[in-house]
A and B are shown apart, each in its own frame.
Chain A
């Protein structure tokens, strides 16, 4: 969490809004001056006053996560004005469903081995490729080059790969 309330360094929000950055600026801890695009995106999608209202409704310790999730949604919406984050949710749900089917199939095979009902080498297809797909597998959703990373890592989920890809083959690209 950055603090830009020093007298000679306005936060990115106050720089963008061309106003004095006061010591109590609600944006200053979360929009450091070295990340101007973060506030620009949030302002474009949500607006400064809506963000202020949202932050004021939260406890101070919740605000950093809230700002980061708003920034994430804003960047997703800027890149894809039709689907925003919903495109990512759709893609990830399909991945979960696909993995469930693969797991069901693999467990069925394992049960067959356990029961020793079949000759495993004669009747089973070759094991499917088991290398878990890295989350950075490229799926050009936003007409971007492959390997579109998460705009910001999700700090509240330690197991997430911050370079994971959230995109899917385009459905709603402009």
Chain B
């Protein structure tokens, strides 16, 4: 029985050899995955990256390559670097908010008799702190936990 070609070999219209570097990571039932990485990196660059890695790390590498390619297609200017930029901004905002809040606590610790007005504004950023989780479009997203 002839094994089905992997998505890469189907895309490249070639025979899928038994030792195809792509076959384990680009199954035939997900043609869009290889199309994505091929568009951004090219087949030979992906093959070189995978070949230089030990086999136990190639699946993760293929997933992250797909993730980055996916976001580069969605945002051709910034790709996933745009996500990094947003996260830095969120961290900056959260750190400022935290420093402000803890300064108020420190003040109140030193001045326990001070009357304090109920705080209303400090929850303003709670709902905005976490970005939508940028999980790679794969089931193996353990690196985000």
A binds B: yes
Which of A4-12, A19-27, A30-38, A126-134 is near enough to bind chain B? A126-134
A83 touches B64 (CB 8 A): yes
CA distance A161 to B45 in the complex (A): 32
Bound: A114/B104 CA distance, A: 11
Complexed CA–CA distance, A81 and B58 (Å): 9
Residue of A nearest to B106 (CB): A127
Give the tally of cross-chain contacts (CB within 8 A): 199
Smallest Cβ distance from A62 to chain B, in angstroms? 5
Give the interface SS of chain B, mostly helix, strand, loop or mixed: helix
Query: Taking the nearest CB of chain A, how far is it from the CB of B54, in angstroms?
Result: 7
With known contacts A65-B77, A86-B143, A127-B109, A174–B64 Cβ distance under 8 A: no
Instruction: Contact check, B143 vs A69: say whether CB atoms are below 8 A apart.
Output: no
Distance in angstroms from A174 CB to nearest chain B CB is 7
Interface size on B, residues (CB 8 A): 65
Residue contact A58 to B98, C-beta cutoff 8 Å: no
A81 partner residues in chain B, CB cutoff 8 A: 49, 52-53, 61
In the assembled complex, A72 has its CB within 8 A of some CB on chain B: yes
**Distance to closest chain B CB from A49 (angstroms):** 8
Contacting pair B123 A172 (CB below 8 A): no
Q: Does A14 contact B (CB under 8 A)?
A: no
Instruction: Find chain A residues with CB under 8 A from B82 CB.
Output: 69
Q: How far is the CB of A76 from chain B (nearest CB, A)?
A: 9
Contacts of A69 in B (CB 8 A): 77-79, 81-82
Q: Which chain A positions have C-beta within 8 A of B72? A: 54, 73
Within B32-79, which residues are at the interface with A (CB < 8 Å)?
Answer: 39-42, 44-45, 49, 52-54, 57, 60-61, 64-65, 67-68, 72, 76-79
Kindly list chain A residues whose C-beta atoms are within 8 Å of the C-beta of B80: 73, 85-86, 89
A99-B95 Cα distance, complex, nearest whole Å: 7
Assess the A85–B84 pair: CB atoms within 8 A: yes
Contacts of A172 in B (CB 8 A): 57, 60-61
In the complex, 26 of the A-B residue pairs with CB atoms within 8 angstroms, ordered by the A residue number, are A45-B41, A50-B45, A58-B77, A73-B68, A82-B53, A83-B61, A85-B80, A86-B64, A86-B68, A87-B64, A90-B143, A90-B144, A92-B87, A97-B130, A102-B98, A104-B126, A106-B98, A111-B118, A113-B108, A114-B117, A114-B118, A121-B112, A132-B95, A154-B88, A159-B89, A160-B89
